[in-house]
């Protein structure tokens, strides 16, 4: 399995110490979590995932390192309730967004446009809404909207029309064929023509952007002073949300910007620490790192 994306940088910028309380919002196959656990011998790791395969695998992996961890089988949108219930404040929070390599590689999950599978794309296998319903029951207008908004797909309109005209569409490769028929030849040369449509449907199925926005705002409130949040994003829509939230909480409100002295109680509680991109070497050894970006923020008061 690949080394986790931006692993060394996350470990450095999370500022871990022996007693740190850390939340890994995206446990996956435990790449980040296991390295975090090794560094917090007297602390505690809480790790969220909603994928039962990932949880089972990582539970075994982490158990070999220590027992000071708890896996929370839940969507990270519930971070506030779940962490408050445990009566802790946290020193570090990590988001490594998106799907894991195994989710992409296991053909039956339906995330990949390279392998044939039932249209699914649910990260949480117990959820009702799947890619099948989105593709086969949404109106043409709603589909167009989703492809524009979540895929930034310039051929959204013609792809949505072709989808509606070819229903029912049962599998990933059937959908790929429909998409190919809806776009001009030149669009198929550079990158895979289904890439943006698949991203858009996946975001819709898992409500990824709304969930991330709510969770990140809540996570900021759970931080101890000097606590940090590291967010790894993989596309511009996620990154934009992160950038805007970080800017808002670390900036003075406009009406205070011209004051010669800003009273202590109006000073921002957070400071943006850094934005980091993977090195060329990392991109060469792990294709998933290509579009990754890490943003770090700290609670300062």
Ligand X SMILES: C[S@@+](CC[C@H](N)C(=O)[O-])C[C@H]1O[C@@H](n2cnc3c(N)ncnc32)[C@H](O)[C@@H]1O
Contacting residues toward ligand X, per CB under 6 A: 4, 26, 28-32, 48-51, 54, 75-77, 96, 98-100, 123, 211
Q: 156-165 and 172-182 helices cross at what angle (nearest 10)?
A: 120
Question: Is the distance from CB of 298 to CB of 288 less than 8 angstroms?
Answer: no
- Please report how close the Cβ of residue 268 comes to ligand X at its closest, in angstroms: 27
CA 114 from centre of chain:
22
- Please report how close the Cβ of residue 29 comes to ligand X at its closest, in angstroms: 4
93 φ/ψ angles, rounded to the nearest 5 degrees: -135, 135
Q: How many residues does the chain have?
A: 301
Cβ-based nearer residue to ligand X, 32 or 299: 32
- Please report how close the Cβ of residue 153 comes to ligand X at its closest, in angstroms: 22
- Please report how close the Cβ of residue 203 comes to ligand X at its closest, in angstroms: 11
Whole-angstrom CA distances from 281 to 137, 287, 290 are 44, 10, 10
Cβ-based nearer residue to ligand X, 24 or 91: 24
Cβ-based nearer residue to ligand X, 58 or 144: 58
Nearest-CA neighbor of 151 among 242, 237, 244, 233? 237
- Please report how close the Cβ of residue 80 comes to ligand X at its closest, in angstroms: 13
Cβ-based nearer residue to ligand X, 2 or 157: 2
Cβ-based nearer residue to ligand X, 121 or 163: 121
Strands (E), the chain: 21-24, 44-49, 69-73, 90-96, 223-233, 270-276, 293-299
121 φ/ψ angles, rounded to the nearest 5 degrees: 65, 20
- Please report how close the Cβ of residue 211 comes to ligand X at its closest, in angstroms: 5
Instruction: Tell me the three state secondary structure of residue 247.
Output: helix
Question: Is the distance from CB of 270 to CB of 250 less than 8 angstroms?
Answer: yes
Cβ-based nearer residue to ligand X, 50 or 144: 50
């Amino acid at each position: 399995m690949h080394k986790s994306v931006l692993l060394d940088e996350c470990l450095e910028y999370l500022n871990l110490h022996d007693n740190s309380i850390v939340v890994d919002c995206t446990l996956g196959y435990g790449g980040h979590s296991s390295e975090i656990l090794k560094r917090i011998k007297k602390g505690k790791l809480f790790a969220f995932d909603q994928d039962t395969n990932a949880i089972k695998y990582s539970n075994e992996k982490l158990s070999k390192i220590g027992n000071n961890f708890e896996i929370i089988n839940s969507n990270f949108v519930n971070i506030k309730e779940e962490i408050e219930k445990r009566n802790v404040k946290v020193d570090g929070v990590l988001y490594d967004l998106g799907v894991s390599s195994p989710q992409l590689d296991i053909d039956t999950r339906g995330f990949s446009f390279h392998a044939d599978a039932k249209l699914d794309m649910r990260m949480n296998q117990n959820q009702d809404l799947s890619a099948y319903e989105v593709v086969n029951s949404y109106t043409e207008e709603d589909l167009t909207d989703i492809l524009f908004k979540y895929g930034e797909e310039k051929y959204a309109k013609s792809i949505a029309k072709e989808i509606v005209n070819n229903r029912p569409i049962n599998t990933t490769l059937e959908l790929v064929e429909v998409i190919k028929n809806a776009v001009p030849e030149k669009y198929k040369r550079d990158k895979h023509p289904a890439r943006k449509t698949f991203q858009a449907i996946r975001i819709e199925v898992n409500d990824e952007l709304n969930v991330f926005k709510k969770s990140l705002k809540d996570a900021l409130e759970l931080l101890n002073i000097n606590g940090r949040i590291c967010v790894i994003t993989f596309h511009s829509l996620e990154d934009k949300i992160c950038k805007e939230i970080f800017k808002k909480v670390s900036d003075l409100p406009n009406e205070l910007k011209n004051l010669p002295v800003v009273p202590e109680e109006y000073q921002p509680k957070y400071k943006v620490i850094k934005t980091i991109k993977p090195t060329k070497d990392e991109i060469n050894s792990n294709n998933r790192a290509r579009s990754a970006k890490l943003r770090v923020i700290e609670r300062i008061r």
